[in-house]
């Protein structure tokens, strides 16, 4: 930070007043407008995610393989046949999905 004496000579009093008035408002606006995006980036709680999937042997596999990239609602809304799911999972494995 520049010493006050140098700062006084470089910045006019009018500019200093404008900065002191506008800077706090801009800081508040920055916090207010970006906080909803922070909330959206949070991942849902894992327990809630698995509650959406039907219980059974495939729930664990879907939780470890599919929910790394997709939400449960995406899986549930597909309503694919077993053959189509097999093709879809094979495609995801080719794209790098880890399925055990």
Residue written as tokens 């999905």?
97
The pLDDT, as a whole number, for residue 58 is 81
pLDDT digits (tens, 9 = 90+) for 5-25: 555 666 667 766 776 776 777
The pLDDT, as a whole number, for residue 35 is 57
The pLDDT, as a whole number, for residue 47 is 47
Contacts of 2 (CB under 8 A, 6+ apart): 10
Low-confidence ranges of the chain (pLDDT < 50): 47
C-alpha 16/C-alpha 4 separation (Å) is: 12
Evaluate whether 97 touches 67 at the Cβ level (below 8 Å).
no
Residue written as tokens 């080719």?
94
pTM of the predicted model, to two decimals?
0.46
Name which of 58, 47, 57 is nearest 80 in CA terms.
58
């Amino acid at each position: 930070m520049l010493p006050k004496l140098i700062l006084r000579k470089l910045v006019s009093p009018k500019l200093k007043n404008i900065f002191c008035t506008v800077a706090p408002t801009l800081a508040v606006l920055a916090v207010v407008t970006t906080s909803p995006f922070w909330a959206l980036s949070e991942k849902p709680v894992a327990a809630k995610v698995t509650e959406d999937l039907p219980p059974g042997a495939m729930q664990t596999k879907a939780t470890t393989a599919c929910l790394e990239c997709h939400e449960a609602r995406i899986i549930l809304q597909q309503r694919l046949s077993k053959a189509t799911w097999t093709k879809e999972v094979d495609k995801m494995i080719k794209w790098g999905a880890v399925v055990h």
